[in-house]
Amino acid sequence: MDNLDSDLLRTFLAVAEAGSVTDGAARIYRSQSATSLQVKRLEAILGQPVFERHGRGVVLSDAGRRLLPVAQDVTARLDSALRDISLRDVSGKLRVGIPDDHGRTKLAEIIASFARHHPQVELDVTCALSTGFPDALEKGTLDLAIYEVERPRKHEEVLFEDPTCWVSSAHRNFPSDDSLPVAVFDQACWWRDVAIASLKTRGKPYRIVYSSQSVSGVIAAVEAGIAVGLLGRSSLHSGLSVMSNILGLGNTPASKLVMAASGSQEATPQEAMKAAIRTAFMANV
């Protein structure tokens, strides 16, 4: 006999709150196809649709509106039970670095929840451009950090993998023979190096018209229609179009969101935080 499990309910809530499968998938760090399969599975169990198509997004069906308060109540109760049962006395100080773009909201929520349930841990959180985090770990100025890399090293635990692609505004076309306007990162990071290498391999003229320190800055330039940019698929929404094949730009490597520790911090608070972050990401794989 089929049952409603919490994973299906969490996917349903993400899509319902976002108003589209694509944006809902980004919220729970799943691919769009995996999220669609979860919604179809839920609908197969219920025997009726939970969403109706509406323009570029979705709205709740009658069944979806009935399910919504149930899903909210069930997931809230499960989260509360997990917090109460797993609560342990953890103390000490922990210096954590989280990126100011990728996963910022999710990570901030995880850390806030950790602080509420481990009040004896003194947290020092740095939210910044994460390119400097590996060096900070080596110098011992951070105990734990989360950042993006192209190729993880042995001590870096992969939390989430995000395929990259060339993207433009859905309302703007760029002729393939013209000099291509590009938005890139202005810091020395692998995203910029990969973007420029991809453009050079294409073998056609391009010009950098916009530079930004952040993902949100590159997205803003792309949304405005002034340039194309290399972004992770988790950043896509209905106003953006994937242009890699259309513009003749080849495949680019996926970004890996990783977690690493300095090794100099006492084990208890560090391991408790790592477990909280790991569990949150694994629940949404």
Co-location of 195 and 234 in the same domain: yes
Q: In whole angstroms, what is the distance from residue 129 CA to residue 214 CA?
A: 7
Q: Are residues 81 and 214 in the same domain?
A: no
147 and 67 inside one domain: no
Residues of the domain holding 35 = 6-85
Beta strand extents in the chain (DSSP E only): 51-54, 57-60, 92-99, 121-128, 144-149, 157-162, 164-169, 180-185, 206-212, 228-232, 240-242, 255-261
116 belongs to a structural domain:
yes
- pLDDT at site 285: 45
DSSP 3-state assignment of 237? coil
In this structure, the answer to whether residues 135 and 275 fall within a common structural domain is yes
User: Residue 56 domain-assigned?
Assistant: yes
261 and 249 co-located in one domain? no
pLDDT string in tens for the chain (285-residue length): 578 888 899 999 989 988 888 888 877 778 888 899 999 999 999 999 999 988 778 899 999 999 999 998 898 888 777 666 665 567 788 999 988 765 667 777 788 878 877 888 899 988 887 888 999 999 999 999 999 898 898 889 988 888 999 999 998 988 877 899 999 988 767 889 999 999 999 999 999 999 988 888 899 999 999 999 999 888 888 889 999 888 889 889 998 889 999 875 556 788 888 888 887 776 554
Same domain, 153 and 268: yes
Boundary of a domain, candidates 60, 85, 110? 85
Q: Does residue 210 sit in the same domain as residue 99?
A: no
Question: Nearest 10 degrees: CA dihedral of 110, 114, 117, 123?
Answer: -140
Residue 1 inside a domain? The answer is: no
79 and 94 within one domain:
no
Look at residue 199 and tell me if it is in a domain: yes
Examine the domain organization and report whether 191 and 214 are in the same domain. Answer: yes
- Kind of pairing between the strands at 228-232 and 164-169: antiparallel
d(CA 222, CA 209): 11
- What's the CATH code of the domain at 45? 1.10.10.10
| Of the residues 37, 69, 85, the one at which a domain ends | 85
Query: Does some domain include residue 229?
Result: yes
pLDDT at 85: 66
Phi, psi of 194 (to 5 degrees): -65, -40
Q: How many domains does the chain have?
A: 3
177 and 201 assigned to the same domain = yes
- Same domain, yes or no: 168 and 241: yes
User: Can you tell me which residue has the tokens 């408790």?
Assistant: 272
**Domain boundary at 62, 85, 108, which?**
85
In a domain, 20, yes or no: yes
Scanning the structure block, which residue is given the tokens 């669609």? 36
> Is the residue at 213 inside a domain?
yes
Residues in contact with 21: Cβ distance below 8 Å, sequence separation at least 6, in sequence order: 15, 32, 35, 36, 39, 58
Is 235 within a domain? yes
pLDDT score of 169? 94
Whether 137 and 153 share a structural domain: yes
126, 120 Cβ separation under 8 angstroms: no
Give the number of other Cβ atoms within 10 Å of residue 13's Cβ.
19
Q: What is the pLDDT of residue 145?
A: 94
- How much is the pLDDT for 161? 86
CA 236 from chain center: how many Å? 11
Look up tokens 């790592």; give the residue.
274
Task: Residue 119: give its domain's CATH number.
Answer: 3.40.190.10
CA distance 64 to 169: 31
